[in-house]
Amino acid sequence: MSRLSFAALAGAAMLFSATAAQAQGYYTAKPATAPTKPSLISGGVMWKCAEGTCAAAKTTSRDAIVCEQVVKHVGTLSSFAAGANAFDEAALAKCNARAR
C-alpha cells in the first residue's frame, strides 16, 4: 500500500471514529472531562460515549431537560446540541448549573 493510500485510509478512520458517537443520536453532549464509561442512562435515555462525546436518540422531553439530566451524570459540558441546534452560551450555562 502506498504512503498516500495509507495516509488517506488513516485519515478516514480518524474521521469516522471522531463522529461515530455523533452519528448514533439526535442529542450530542461533550463533557468537559471525558466520561470513563462507554454508556450511561440518564432520565431513561441511553447515552453512548466515545472519543469524549456522548450521543443519544431523540426523546419526548424538552431539549433543556435532556441537557440538565445528562450533566447530573457526566458533569459540566463544553457543548450540547439537539439535532442541528447547538445550545448557545446562555443555554449551556443554564444547563451546566445543574451539573454534579
Summarised one tens digit per residue, pLDDT across range 8-50 is: 444 444 444 434 444 569 999 999 999 999 999 999 999 999 9
Mean pLDDT over each residue of the chain, to the nearest integer: 83
pLDDT at 6 over 60: no
Report the number of distinct structural domains present in the chain.
1
| pLDDT higher than threshold 90 for residue 78 | yes
Domain around 73: 3-96
Cα distance between residue 32 and residue 54, in whole Å: 11
Query: Cα(37)–Cα(49) distance, rounded to whole angstroms?
Result: 7
Query: Is the pLDDT higher at 90 or at 7?
Result: 90
How far is the CA of 79 from the CAs of 23, 28, 56, in angstroms?
Answer: 16, 8, 14
pLDDT of residue 82: 97
Contact call for residues 28 and 54 (beta carbons, < 8 A): yes
pLDDT for the residue 100: 78
The SS3 assignment for 16 reads helix
pTM for this model (two decimals): 0.76
